[in-house]
Amino acid sequence: MVFADSEPAAGGVHVSTPPAAVKILVAGGFGVGKTTLVGAVSEVTPLHTEEYLTVASEGVDDVGGVEEKTTTTVAMDFGRITVNPQLVVYLFGTPGQERFWFMWNDLVHGALGAVVLADTRRLESSFASIDFFESRGIPFVIGVNCFHGQVDRGEQEVRDALTLGPEVPLVMGDMRSKEVGRDLLLALVEHLITTLSTA
């Protein structure tokens, strides 16, 4: 038994120091299984929170060039995985309405990477998320949801439809499965490690 006060203060880290945190985003179109994936791998039931965003309103006439601003509420849910006593991973399921959360800097900034979920019956609903992460240089992996318990499109067909490079990892499976969720997150982290070590 090692007592707390005999723990070496390596790197200034003491046992009573709160854990460090990192985050991973789970994105994709409406109803694609984001909350399901977060819940499958999280050690707690997904928590829910909201934020106010100030956005330029649509369809207002720009008399005098003054942009109308309105306040919008975006909601998201999230879970956590305690990797070790010093490190916690937070998983944020992004809200379905991309055009709002894309502007939520605190949500996007500093993420390790993202899992983008895609439903083979409506792949186009994940285009906006993929474009967003590509343009921001945020690494991502694709999770292809198998809603009918089977893969109805081949991996290459999905890659072509999403115009994914061969370097982007892709995992197919049922997002209600903890193993599938874990494999997706592992694919992302291994992708990050590979990218970092070849940088």
Partner 1 sequence: MDDLEADAGDPEELSVRPYTLTQGRTAPARDDLTLITIVKTVDPPPGRSALRGLQPEHHVILRQCRGSAAVAEISAGLNLPVSVTKILIDDLVARGQVTTRPPIAMAAGNESDMNLLRAVRDGLRRL
Ligand X SMILES: Nc1nc2c(ncn2[C@@H]2O[C@H](COP(=O)(O)OP(=O)(O)OP(=O)(O)O)[C@@H](O)[C@H]2O)c(=O)[nH]1
Q: Does 35 bind Mg ion (CB under 5 A)?
A: yes
Q: At 91, which amino acid appears?
A: L
Residue 176's binding partner out of Mg ion, partner 1, ligand X, none, with CB under 5 to 8 Å set by partner kind: ligand X
Element (H, E) at 162: helix 155-162
**β-bridge mates for residue 76, sequence order:** 49
Edge-first strand listing for the sheet containing 87-93:
47-56, 69-84, 87-93, 20-28, 113-119, 140-145, 170-173
Q: Which of residues 19-38 bind ligand X (CB under 6 A)?
A: 30-36
Q: At 156, which amino acid appears?
A: Q
Q: Does 14 bind partner 1 (CB under 8 A)?
A: no
Q: Which of residues 170-199 bind ligand X (CB under 6 A)?
A: 174-176
Q: Are 120 and 72 in contact, with CB atoms under 8 Å apart?
A: no
Residue 49's binding partner out of Mg ion, ligand X, partner 1, none, with CB under 5 to 8 Å set by partner kind: partner 1
- Nearer to Mg ion by Cβ, of 35 and 42: the residue is 35
Total residues at interface with partner 1 (CB under 8 A): 45
How large is the C-alpha radius of gyration of the chain?
Answer: 19
Q: Does 112 bind partner 1 (CB under 8 A)?
A: yes
Q: Does 50 bind partner 1 (CB under 8 A)?
A: yes
Q: Does 99 bind ligand X (CB under 6 A)?
A: no
Q: Are strands 69-84 and 20-28 parallel, antiparallel or unpaired?
A: unpaired
Interface residue with partner 1 among 83, 131, 136, 152 (CB under 8 A) is 83
Q: Are 139 and 113 in contact, with CB atoms under 8 Å apart?
A: yes
Binding site for partner 1 (CB under 8 A): 16-23, 41, 47-52, 70-71, 73, 78, 80-84, 87-90, 92, 106-107, 109-110, 112, 178, 182, 185-186, 189-190, 192-193, 196-197, 199
